[in-house]
Amino acid sequence: MIIKKADLVAVAVKKDQYPKDDKKEIAFVGRSNVGKSSLLNLLANRKNLARVSGSPGKTRTINFYEINGDFRIVDLPGYGYAKLSKSEIEKWGEMIESYLQNREGLLKVVQLVDIRHVPSAQDVQMYEWLRYYGLDGIVVATKSDKVSRNQMAKYISIIKKTLALSPEDIIIPVSTLKRTGHDVLLDEIERLLEGGQ
């Protein structure tokens, strides 16, 4: 698949702000600063479609991007952002849960983890949660340019083990810097949209 058109069609903090049609959706989740917005820009081949920042906590809303007029990629606000107050963390939790729990068109949630780090307790919890709801199955290991080719397999296996991935789950190393791996993810998304599991 080639993304020819990508538009921000909704920015939401609550349900009545979500798009109302029944287009299918693929969401991106992961800790703040992991590279969700950068990945979206790479997939869409657009520099500034989603805002990217060196400081965590850039995306604070649920952002819906319509792709090729056909489906949506949903950029969720990142978790694990240390500077948030307790009430902001609670708000985040409610916002994410209300989206993930009852979104009819949601096909899959791609979980992003930084290739260099052992997934955090929150990453593990999130993946368990996705598994429970049947939304698991695709993990993207971001910033793959930060590890050498030789070390790649080692880092990938740590992620697999920590998130307790099953053999059918796929893990895709991606670098937005080197522009690699996104084509594999796009193929997966295409497969899902065509009705694959």
Ligand X SMILES: Nc1nc2c(ncn2[C@@H]2O[C@H](COP(=O)(O)OP(=O)(O)OP(=O)(O)O)[C@@H](O)[C@H]2O)c(=O)[nH]1
Contact flag: residue 35 with ligand X (CB under 6 A): yes
d(CA 69, CA 65): 10
Two tokens at 106?
């949601």
- Contact letters for ligand X, residues 177-196 (x by CB under 6 A): x-------------------
Contact flag: residue 111 with ligand X (CB under 6 A): no
DSSP 180: B
Among 27, 43, 44, 52, binds ligand X (CB under 6 A): 52
Contact flag: residue 19 with ligand X (CB under 6 A): no
Contact flag: residue 63 with ligand X (CB under 6 A): no
Sign of CA dihedral 135, 75, 42, 118: negative
Which is closer to ligand X, CB of 148 or CB of 197?
148
Q: How many binding residues for ligand X (CB under 6 A)?
A: 24
- Beta carbons of 36 and 59 less than 8 angstroms apart: yes
Q: Which residues in this chain contact Mg ion in the complex, by CB under 5 A?
A: 36-37, 58-59
Which is closer to ligand X, CB of 70 or CB of 89?
89
Please, which residues bridge with residue 73 across strands?
26, 65
Contact flag: residue 38 with ligand X (CB under 6 A): yes
Contact flag: residue 89 with ligand X (CB under 6 A): no
Which is closer to ligand X, CB of 122 or CB of 166?
122
d(CA 86, CA 29): 20
Q: How far is CA 19 from CA 99, 105, 190, in A?
A: 12, 11, 21
**Contacted by 57, from ligand X, Mg ion, none: CB < 5 to 8 Å by type:** ligand X
d(CA 28, CA 110): 5
Helices (H), 21-85: 36-44
Binding site for ligand X (CB under 6 A): 30, 32-38, 52-54, 56-59, 77-78, 142-143, 145-146, 175-177
